[in-house]
Structure 1
Amino acid sequence: MLNILNSLFVLGAAKPTIGGVGDWLTSEVGTGIGVIVLIIGVGHWIAGKYGKMVALFLVGGLMFFISKGPERVFNGISAIWQMIFSSGS
């Protein structure tokens, strides 16, 4: 009887893993930042505070890209740099 119980526990005992949580969390943090920035930005637009709105979108956009990973931010900056200062030859 004891062997049967042990085998049932072993068969049903898959080790839980949190492997995909990091990717999911990164995705949801970026989405949350985007939604918050959009709501506050629309509030500034309705109030006619366009300078604050532009600053919020710049800082919020930077926070969004940083939440996706620093390598994406640096790759985007380098792509813009190359587009502006490319030799064209």
Structure 2
Amino acid sequence: MSNVQKAMALLIDSFGKYAGKEGDNMTLSKAELKELLQNELGDILGNANDKAAVDHIFKSLDANQDNSVDFKEFVSMVSSLTVMCHQYFHQSAKK
């Protein structure tokens, strides 16, 4: 597999690792999202124990307002974070 294919597979696996612990394996509940944020993105996002921050992230990710985060909504977050990291590292390299 190419690196991009590996990255895609890792995203799918990571989502699946947390989705469905509380029911639907195609979506993340707020608790499942919190666990994913803590375990997978804690270094980038900081303290996922902040209930207000998790609530805000969940609400902004839940684009269709069905009280869950589906894979498309999850990938949108990962994509946005990746763009921000790319910009940060590109700007840091210029200094």
- So what's the TM-score if we normalise by structure 1? 0.30
Question: Normalising by structure 2, what TM-score?
Answer: 0.28
Q: Which has the higher strand share?
A: 2
Larger radius of gyration: 1
Bigger RCO of structures 1 and 2 (CA < 8 A, at least 6 apart): 1
